[in-house]
Amino acid sequence: MKKLTLITLIVSLILLFASLTSWILHSNNFSIVASNLAVIILLIKVLWDNRHGLDN
C-alpha cells in the first residue's frame, strides 16, 4: 500500500469517526458534512488509483 493511500485512508477514517461522534452528540449538520467529505475523499482516491483500468 502506498504511503499516500494510507494517509488518505487514515484521514477518511478520522472523519467518519468524527461524524459518528458528532451524531451521538446531536450535532447533525457536522455529522453529515464530515461523513460526506470522507466518502468523497475515498471515492476520489479509488478512482484516481484505478484510472488506468477505466480506459476501456
The pLDDT assigned to 31 comes to 94
Provide the total of helices (H) and of strands (E) in the chain, helices listed first: 2, 0
- Structure confidence by residue, pLDDT tens digits, 26-47: 999 999 999 999 999 999 998 8
Percentage of the chain exceeding pLDDT 90: 73
Q: Exposed (0-12), middle (13-18) or buried (19+): which is 16, by Cβ within 10 Å?
A: middle
- Structure confidence by residue, pLDDT tens digits, 45-56: 988 888 877 665
Q: Where are the domains of the chain?
A: 3-51
Global confidence as pTM: 0.81
